[in-house]
Structure 1
């Protein structure tokens, strides 16, 4: 795993975390925003600038890939590298949670 890339993304913003988490299943931009909105019970609503800026950066960093393009709609999916980075972040969050409970 690329340690420099991990340091860029971890700790991860909630936006990045939920985008990667939603892309475990392939989705287009609107479906990602809808998925994040549902997962967070409307707490996080991603605007077009946020979602497409994040997708562009993640694609450049090879955390996600475009698996299909149909008309003007791109279908994105998390890559193996993206899954590794997401796992590092999940472990970090789990450690935070465990420590907040007194290490139980």
Structure 2
């Protein structure tokens, strides 16, 4: 059985971690940037997702440091996480291509924009 699709916030968190290890607040900022401001993660939501992704083996803690008396934990994508993210990219691309092809055939989409 195929894995279920990733929720958008989870997809964006994995995407943020695909380039470089980040600490929590940097993940929140990068997800906001990647989504063009559409997805605003709250700290509680972020850390719940990070805990689940760690339990699933998709991310891991790369390092920890103390900044202004607070622990800052940096997360990185694992090989399994990269594989899962790549599979989701393929799934989304396939679905988007199918939708675009049908819109073009129906005449509702011309050269990438609405007719």
Give the number of the structure with larger relative contact order, counting CA–CA contacts within 8 Å between residues 6 or more apart: 1
Q: Select which of 28, 51, 75 maps to 2:23.
A: 28
Query: What value does the CA root-mean-square deviation take over the aligned residues?
Result: 1.5
Q: Which runs of 5+ in 1 are unaligned?
A: none
Counterpart in 2 of 1:84? Answer: 83
C-alpha deviations, 1:2-52, integer Å up to 9, x for none?
x7xx62xx3110000000000011000000000000111111000011100
Structure ranking higher in strand proportion:
2
Where in structure 1 do 4 or more consecutive aligned residues deviate above 2 Å?
Answer: none
**Count of equivalent residues:** 98
Q: 1:37-76, aligned counterparts within 5 Å?
A: 37-71=32-66, 72-76=71-75
TM (norm. structure 2) is: 0.80
Give secondary structure in 2 for the equivalent of 1:45.
coil
TM (norm. structure 1) is: 0.89
Measure, in 2, the Cα distance between the counterparts of 1:51 and 1:80.
21
